[in-house]
């Protein structure tokens, strides 16, 4: 089947509906990355479990989400993007209900893993469907709104999770997805037009190699602090994961229809923005995971109070992302993304210098605001850079790859920074928590600074110019 976008809805009504549907779906998937963080102490009290078990309530979602994202994008290209979007949304909604009804830590982790499967099918297709529905000249603004809604999910994740946990029950952080999913399903069926990608056969060997490799590495990182870094299962996971990922790269270089064509990485734009995305999410997710617990366990805030106090950081994208999208249309995404990442790194480093067992909120506030502005400047221009760095027929796999690397970064961030936290401190006292938190935040700051440096690899070409025409939207020809 050749590349086609049947009856692409470039009229205003189709654009608006596509933006609403894809933004709400993206909101649901992004919300569940972080909605659990402020509920972790309550889940631990209710269901039991050690730090490693708590990590898996987050990592089970991010891991299945990450390892299947590119496969989800490929399913959409092959069998229809709208059709597979509906499948992913159905799975995600059903798994959310299962998580809400979980009665033990193991059943919760299992439901979270299935949630990740649904999100992996649904999430990469949101950008592809939106790109098909929006004229090239307005895509920066559309990505800005889409990014703002994703920023809203990041912002409201800790707050919604905290409020529902405190005033109702942590189960309701998952029930929330059910009415949203039920409302979006018929709208997507009626308002989105079907489209297809290249029609290439599914890459089953590549999917198995990438999924197995990522699982092995993340499993090893999550279990390392609890089981010991020299334990058989941890070493097996790390070495087997690295071997499988190496095999995935070698296989993809030679395969006729690889899930992720390695030639895309010859593009400086594609390589730079994907490296930056992975590192950004590594530093951000790990930091939020620990700081949300610091605010409750050390500073004594309730779940709601902790979520509200995180808003200057996590809520800033709601205000900044639309502006960042417009800026990326005018001056290009590269300077906007680089500035955002440097600010995020500065904010995390600042936070590391001020955290103490009795630190006041006023002392933390400037670091939270700087981090929030940085995060807001990243989301929309990064999406624009990804989608404009490849040919239109490759936008599905590009979206899947970028989302996969973001989720891998999130899973690695929680695993790595929790490992640093455990090795340098712990939950015993307020001081031991801070002793572990500070080096973890310094690590997060350094990683995000490295993401900013990776952004500088991107060519100086303005994204607005490269997206004015689908025929011209091929900066992938500008290689290293």
Tens digits of per-residue pLDDT, 397-447? 777 778 778 777 877 787 788 888 888 888 788 899 999 999 999 999 999
Q: Are residues 267 and 247 in the same domain?
A: no
Q: Supply the pLDDT for residue 49.
A: 66
Q: Are residues 119 and 230 in the same domain?
A: no
Q: Supply the pLDDT for residue 182.
A: 93
Q: Looking at 215, 239, 258, which one is the last position of a domain?
A: 258
Q: Are residues 389 and 263 in the same domain?
A: yes
Q: Are residues 19 and 137 in the same domain?
A: yes
Q: Supply the pLDDT for residue 466.
A: 39
Q: Are residues 322 and 237 in the same domain?
A: no
In-domain check, residue 414: yes
pLDDT of 476 over the 60 cut: no
In-domain check, residue 270: yes
Q: Containing domain of residue 235, as a range?
A: 203-258
Q: In this predicted model, which residue has the larger pLDDT, 382 or 240? A: 240
In-domain check, residue 195: no
In-domain check, residue 2: no
CATH number of the domain bearing residue 48: 1.20.1250.20
pLDDT of 145 over the 60 cut: yes
Q: How many structural domains are present in the chain?
A: 2
In contact, 383 and 285? CB cutoff 8 Å: no
* Backbone φ, ψ for residue 196 (5° rounding): -135, 165
Q: Are residues 251 and 295 in the same domain?
A: no
Q: Supply the pLDDT for residue 355.
A: 92
Whether the pTM exceeds 0.85: the reply is no
Q: How confident is the model at residue 473 (pLDDT cuts 50, 70, 90)?
A: very low
Q: Are residues 311 and 179 in the same domain?
A: yes
pLDDT of 139 over the 50 cut: yes
pLDDT digits (tens, 9 = 90+) for 24-56: 888 888 788 777 776 777 787 777 666 667 777
Q: Are residues 56 and 99 in the same domain?
A: yes
Q: Are residues 440 and 342 in the same domain?
A: yes
In DSSP notation, 305-372 reads HHHHHHHHHHTHHHHHHHHHHHHHHHH-HHHHHHHHHHHHHHHHHHHHHH--TT--HHHHHHHHHHHH
Residue among 308, 311, 290, 271 at smallest CA distance from 405? 271
In-domain check, residue 1: no
Q: Are residues 39 and 131 in the same domain?
A: yes
pLDDT of 12 over the 60 cut: no
d(CA 298, CA 212): 37
Q: Are residues 245 and 286 in the same domain?
A: no
Q: Are residues 217 and 314 in the same domain?
A: no
């Amino acid at each position: 089947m050749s590349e086609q976008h049947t009856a692409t809805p470039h009229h205003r009504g189709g654009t608006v509906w596509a933006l609403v549907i894809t933004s709400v779906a993206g909101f649901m998937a992004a919300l569940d990355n972080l909605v659990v963080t402020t509920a972790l102490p309550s889940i631990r009290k209710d269901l039991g479990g050690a730090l490693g078990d708590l990590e898996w309530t987050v990592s089970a979602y991010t891991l299945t989400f990450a390892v299947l994202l590119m496969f989800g994008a490929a399913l959409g290209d092959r069998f229809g993007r709208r059709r597979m979007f509906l499948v992913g949304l159905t799975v995600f909604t059903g798994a959310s209900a299962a998580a809400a009804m979980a009665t033990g830590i193991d059943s919760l982790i299992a439901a979270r893993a299935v949630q990740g499967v649904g999100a992996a099918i649904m999430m990469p297709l949101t950008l592809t469907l939106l790109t098909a529905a929006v004229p090239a000249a307005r895509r920066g603004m559309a990505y800005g709104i889409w990014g703002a809604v994703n920023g809203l999910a990041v912002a409201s994740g800790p707050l919604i999770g905290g409020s529902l946990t405190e005033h109702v029950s942590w189960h309701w952080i998952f029930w929330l997805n059910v009415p949203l999913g039920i409302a979006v399903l018929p709208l997507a069926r009626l308002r989105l037009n079907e489209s297809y990608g290249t029609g290439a056969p599914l890459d089953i060997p590549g999917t198995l190699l990438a999924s197995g490799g990522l699982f092995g590495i993340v499993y090893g990182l999550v279990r390392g602090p609890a089981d010991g870094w020299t334990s058989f299962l941890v070493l097996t996971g790390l070495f087997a994961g690295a071997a499988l990922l190496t095999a995935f790269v070698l296989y993809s270089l030679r395969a006729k229809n690889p899930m992720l064509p390695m030639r895309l990485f010859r593009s400086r734009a594609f390589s730079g923005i994907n490296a930056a995305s992975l590192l950004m999410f590594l530093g951000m997710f790990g930091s939020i995971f620990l700081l949300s617990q610091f605010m409750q366990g050390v500073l004594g805030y309730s779940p709601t109070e902790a979520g509200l106090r995180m808003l200057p950081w996590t809520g800033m994208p709601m205000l900044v992302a639309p502006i960042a999208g417009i800026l990326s249309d005018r001056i290009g995404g590269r300077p906007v993304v680089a500035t955002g990442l440097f600010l995020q790194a500065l904010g995390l480093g600042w936070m590391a210098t001020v955290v103490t067992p009795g630190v006041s909120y006023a002392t933390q506030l400037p670091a939270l605001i700087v981090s929030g502005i940085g995060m807001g400047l990243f989301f929309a221009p990064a999406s624009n850079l990804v989608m404009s760095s490849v040919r239109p027929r490759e936008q599905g796999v590009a979206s899947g790859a970028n989302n996969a690397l973001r989720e891998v970064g999130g899973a690695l961030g929680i695993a790595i920074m929790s490992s640093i936290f455990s090795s340098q401190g712990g939950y015993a006292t307020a001081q031991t928590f801070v002793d572990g938190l500070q080096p973890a935040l310094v690590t997060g700051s350094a990683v995000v600074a490295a993401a900013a440096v990776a952004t500088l690899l991107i060519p100086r070409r303005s994204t607005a110019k490269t997206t004015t025409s689908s025929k011209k939207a091929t900066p992938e020809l500008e290689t290293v």
